[in-house]
Structure 1
Amino acid sequence: NFTEVPFNSNEAEPFFADKTEDNVPIRKLFIGNLAERTSNKDLEKLFSAYGKIEACYVKRVDGRSHFGFITYADVESTVRARQAAHRMELKLHSRILRVTAADSWHQPDSVEKQKKFPNKHNKSDPETVVEAPTPEPDNSDSVLSKLNDDCLREIFLYLPIADRIRVERVCKRWQTLSHESWHAVKSLNLSKNSWGLSPKIRVQVVDTSTLRKVLIRCGKFLTHLDLSQVSHLLSSSTLTIVGKLCPNLQSLNITSIPLSQSGINSLMTHCQNITKFMMKTLRGPSERDLSLFFGVNKKLKYLSVEGDEYIIGKSFTSLPQEVLEDLHLTRCTALLSSHFDVAINHLTNLKSLTLNMCVCLTDSTLEAVGNKTTITDLKFMGTHPLISANSLNNLTNLVNLQRLCLKENVAVNDDFLINLSQNCKQLTFLDLTSCQAVTDRGINPLTTLNKLETLIVNFVSQMTDEAITNLQSLKVFSSWGCKGITDSGIIHLINTASNLISLDLSATSITSESLQVAVTVTRKRKSNSILKMTIGGTNAHSSDIKEISPLLQIVNLDLSVLENTASKYEYLL
């Protein structure tokens, strides 16, 4: 589109192209700043002075300026109309109109329109072949030219996306085979490797126009599309294109693009078989539209929302009640228990739930969650200032719970862990990172959980050796920054937990004595499983060990430092 600037008679008039950057003829114009009383007839009468009009449409939007579209019979008319708008000659009902070329995919000669209305276009249309002049026949004697079609198609599949488009310029045969090779592409992301972009050059990114060219070729074959890469130049209209060109999507990740009303409507109209959907935030209050989107996607099993400030929870009541299994909500700061609880009660097959820093939730939500005995994986993390420590006991009703993450949850205390140990006997994974109210009194009862294999107690500063002496079922143990963990506790753990495969002891108080015991014990192992010990930031040094064990791997990294650094900037992601 073109940015309008006030006309100055002393300045040369800018050049107005007759084609978009995608080489699509410009016959359709976007008209903005229309008055409420402006009709189709008014708009057509004004713009007919610049050429023959094929179509005129006015869109009325509540609470905002209206807009419209004018479609001319030829490109010359659009140039004249834009020139007049630049000179500020186009006024209607006391308003100066904004006139720009409509996006490529809205143009009547675009590839999307050709696919939707094939009888209205012929081979002479400029957009029938998206890229480059028609290649000449290949009469060379090169080795590649002698390969059969199946071999060439297979070779093209291994090329980066940029190269796969370039090979279309070689000859007509390669162009045809390259187009056919896209049929096998079921998954697409924005990684530089897959696009053939240099990782050393930061300015090389994928924009909306480039993505559209690729989706024209493979969109209808895609089942998985990942647009989560942050380094891109995708505009808000991207999802409109995705909806039109990718009707068979099953998995869609748009966590780096705000979801607008037009984007929701496009996805809702064209993509109704989505089973996995990951989004970041709405672009304004469009939760009603999101409800409709959830309503038409009856097969949706997985939903993730990250960093949203508009969703209050009403839309979640439209999720497929018997189908949805995974619901993950992170930093949804407007989410209200009054609406979210209703949704939770309706989800009869919920198996995995994440609530991370959804700060407006109250105790009633944990009561609703506690009744969902279908849940096997729960993450209740971060700050929830309106939730009390007593309400956490509702979670102990989840008798089928296997994985529980309570990272950085200040409400977690010893009493809760005691109740958890008595009721949730299926637990195999427990993360208590930065739960500062937890002491040995709360961790000791975990020894009754015979299936517990992973225990993470990073930065639980009040924990000591006493808490870990009888955790015989453990396979993975991590205790970053726990100064109360010494050789005494770790040596006992190594001797009693015969299935240990990972000990992350970064910044604890162990010494090389623990390493020597690990060497001795692992050398006697009959299972041949390797024990990995991370010892950065401790007084343990691999150079102090006189013997080695083929079943012991020592890593001299302090992961607690890396974690602290990352956490400082996590809120920006």
Structure 2
Amino acid sequence: YPVNMKLPSTLLHKSNPNPRVSIEDILCDDCILHILSYLDPSDLLQVEQVNQRWAALSYCAWKHCQELKVSKTVTCKQLNDLLERTQKKLRTLDISNCSDSLVLTKKVLDSIETYCPNLESLSVADNFMKSSAARLIGDKYPNIKHLNLSYCENVNDKVMKILSSKCVNLHSLNLQGLIRLTGSCFSDFKSSLKSLVLRGCYGIKPSSFRILVEHCPELKTLDVSYTNIDTETLTYLAKYLPQLNSLRAEGTDIEWRSGPLNSLSGLHQLDIQDGVKVDDESIKEVCLSCPNLRSLDISDNYLVTNKGTTDLIRLTSLEELNIGGTEITNFSFFTKLQKLRKVGVTNCKAVDDEVCLQLLSNLPFLEVLDIENSSATWLAEELAKERSAILGRPVQLHAVEVF
């Protein structure tokens, strides 16, 4: 129970005086409701099966539910039942991956509108969406702030134009995997947009990104991984989006050594994993252009060697660093980055138990050490446990992925 929670006097006994009475019979309703408030919706459904009392209490607990993610097999009727339980308090709804059992028809969208009048975030990823459904979403939820349409079959520029013209208060938009987009819809995007994911949208023309900048000048988070964006276009984006603090550009042909990020000194997160032209000179230029980085992923770039580490140590604000899959074999530079909380060295065969010991001993704030597919043995896990005990505080090394 939470430290500041006042428990019924019956719970202050060291043991149950009547062994035939179960603990749920001892707990008062308020206490059970408090416990249920920590459960997610799927667990609440299970609790309903215990007995009539718990079913009634579980139903009451739904009024605290503001987020709901449904299973892949939910039907329209089942969705109605779930939404009704939330008593119109729902703000986030995720019906992704339900295309086999739930089609975005007018009936489904009407149900969502009825039971979710305060909806702010909607995810319909991996569903088939017709232009009529897009128009309905725009009509019913004009004030929605977060929309996830990733991998929605049939979503093209026409559909996006409809949505963009109606959903005028969008703050974040996920269009990952929409291969039919060319970018002509960007001219209808609104200036309220702060976060945009275009990952895998390889049909977008480089020239369309310039249109995006003109209509979304307040973007702070942008993902252009695995798109056809080029060096010249990225340089243009950086120049006119100086407030950008998160950029993901995995798997691109960008020439990083030419300094396309010179205008983004305030960038906090950068992901250039699996880049075609990422080498030591690229790392040098990135470190010079973005000295305030807190998170950097340069994994799966085999042209990055130990030479690049001489520049990485300049990033003294780094909290997350992933160098997995590079040719870096000297890991002593990590000790210069004392603020690191998360380190990724996956697929680095040079990482053994001794390296793990050095990282665990010399990085005081380390929480996550990912050494999957390295040369480390089971001793690494024991070292992590021992280090946690020495620190004398709750275990922060919560994910040592080795075995």
Which TM bucket (shorter chain)?
Answer: 0.7 to 0.9
- The equivalent residue for 1:190 is 70
User: 1:362 and 2:230 equivalent?
Assistant: yes
- Are 2:138 and 1:294 aligned? no
Contact 2:186 2:215 in 1 (8 A): no
Conserved? CA contact 1:284–1:310, under 8 Å: yes
1:209-220 → structure 2 map (5 Å cutoff): 209-212=77-80
* Cα deviation 1:504-525 (Å, max 9, x = unaligned): 3334345799889878877765
CA spacing shift, 1:270–1:442, aligned 2, 3 Å: same
Structure 2: distance between partners of 1:230 and 1:184 = 25
Give the whole-Å Cα distance in 1 for the aligned partners of 2:202 and 2:271: 20
Determine the structure 1 residue equivalent to 2:128.
258
Counterpart in the other structure of 2:14: none
Paired residue for 2:91?
223
Distance 1:531 1:179 in 2: 35
Per-residue displacement from partner, 1:258-295 (whole Å, max 9, x unpaired)?
Answer: 22111011112221010000002454364234223212
User: Where is the strand percentage greater, Structure 1 or Structure 2?
Assistant: 1
Q: Which residue of structure 2 aligns with residue 532 of structure 1? A: 397
RMSD over aligned Cα atoms? 4.3
Aligned residues of 2:257 and 2:283 also touching (Cα < 8 A):
no
Query: Which residue is 2:255 aligned to?
Result: 389
- d(CA) in 1 for partners of 2:44, 2:337: 51
Could you say which residue in structure 2 is the equivalent of 1:267? Answer: 137
Name which structure has the greater RCO, CA cutoff 8 Å, separation 6+: 2
CA deviation map 1:420-468 (0-9, x unaligned): 2223121111112212211111122111111112211112234333554
Looking at CA atoms only, which structure, 1 or 2, has the larger radius of gyration?
Answer: 1
Equivalent in 493, 499, 504 of residue 370 of structure 2: 504
Structure 1 residues 335 and 347: alpha-carbon distance in aligned structure 2, compared to 1, 3 A threshold: same
1:38-61 per-residue CA deviation (whole Å, 9 max, x = no partner) reads: xxxxxxxxxxxxxxxxxxxxxxxx
Equivalence map 1:162-173=2 (5 Å): none
Q: What is the deviation of 1:250?
A: 1.4
**Normalised TM-score (structure 1):** 0.54
Partner SS, residue 188 of structure 1:
strand
Whole-angstrom CA distance in 2 between matches of 1:532 and 1:185:
30
Q: Offset of 1:216 from its aligned partner? A: 7.3
Mapping for residues 312-461 of structure 1, pairs under 5 Å: 312-321=182-191, 323-358=192-227, 360-371=228-239, 372-382=241-251, 384=252, 387-390=253-256, 393-461=259-327
Checking the alignment, whether the CA contact within 8 Å between 1:426 and 1:451 is kept in structure 2 is yes
Q: Percent identity?
A: 22
Q: How is 1:54-69 mapped onto 2 (pairs within 5 angstroms)?
A: none
1:277 aligns with 2:123: no
TM-superposed CA distance for 1:347, in Å, is 2.0
Q: How many residues align?
A: 364
Between the aligned partners of 1:261 and 1:220, the Cα distance in structure 2 is 27
CA distance in 2, matches of 1:428, 1:409: 20
CA distance in 2 between partners of 1:515 and 1:217 (Å): 43
SS of the residue corresponding to residue 198 of structure 2 reads strand
Q: Structure 2: which 5+ runs fail to align?
A: 1-31
CA–CA separation in structure 1 for the residues paired with 2:111 and 2:243: 34
Instruction: Give, in whole Å, the separation in 2 of the partners of 1:162 and 1:518.
Output: 36
Q: Secondary structure at the match of 2:329?
A: coil
Contact kept? 1:410, 1:437, Cα under 8 Å: no
Cα distance in 1 for partners of 2:366, 2:303 equals 27
1:394 Cα offset (Å): 0.8
1:234 aligns with 2:102: yes
Specify the SS of the correspondent of 1:381: coil
Contact 1:465–1:490 (CA under 8 A) maintained in structure 2 = no
- Distance in 2, matches of 1:257 and 1:303, equals 16
CA distance in 2, matches of 1:530, 1:219: 38
Give 3-state SS (helix, strand or coil) of 2:93's partner.
Answer: strand
Letter of the aligned partner of 1:160 in structure 2?
A: L
Contiguous gaps of at least 5 residues in structure 1: 1-150, 168-173, 193-204, 535-554, 560-573
Residue 309 to residue 515, structure 1, CA distance change in 2 (3 Å): closer
Q: Which amino acid aligns with 2:267?
A: L
Task: Tell me whether 1:249 sits opposite 2:115 in the alignment.
Answer: no
Distance verdict in 2 for CA 1:163–1:417, change over 3 Å? same
Sort the Cα spacing of 1:260 and 1:283 in 2 relative to 1 into closer, same or farther, 3 A.
farther
Q: Which amino acid aligns with 1:366?
A: L
Counterpart residue number, 1:558? 402
User: For the residues of structure 1 that align with 2:372 and 2:59, how far apart are their CA atoms?
Assistant: 52
Are the aligned partners of 1:259 and 1:281 in contact in 2 as well (CA < 8 Å)? no
Q: 1 CA distance for matches of 2:373 and 2:159?
A: 49
Distance 1:187 1:447, change over 3 A: closer
Task: Tell me which residue corresponds to 2:3.
Answer: none
Q: Distance in 1 between matches of 2:388 and 2:62?
A: 51
Q: Which amino acid aligns with 1:256?
A: D
Counterparts of 1:85-124 in structure 2, within 5 Å, are none
1:214 Cα offset (Å) = 5.5
Measure, in 1, the Cα distance between the counterparts of 2:385 and 2:378: 11
Partners of 1:454 and 1:299 lie apart in 2 by 32
Contact kept, 8 Å, 1:444 with 1:468, in 2: the verdict is: no
For residue 350 of structure 2, give the secondary structure of its aligned residue in structure 1.
coil
* C-alpha deviation, 1:410, in angstroms: 2.6
Letter in 1 for 2:278: V
Which AA in structure 2 matches 1:558? Answer: V
Aligned equivalents of 1:484, 1:476: Cα separation in 2: 19
Residue 480 of structure 1, aligned match among 346, 350, 353: 346
Structure 1 letter corresponding to 2:271: C
Per the alignment, do residues 220 and 522 of structure 1 end up closer, same or farther by CA in structure 2, a change over 3 Å counting?
closer
**CA distance 1:501–1:160, change in 2 (3 Å):** closer
Change in Cα spacing, 1:219 to 1:255, as seen in structure 2 (3 Å) is farther
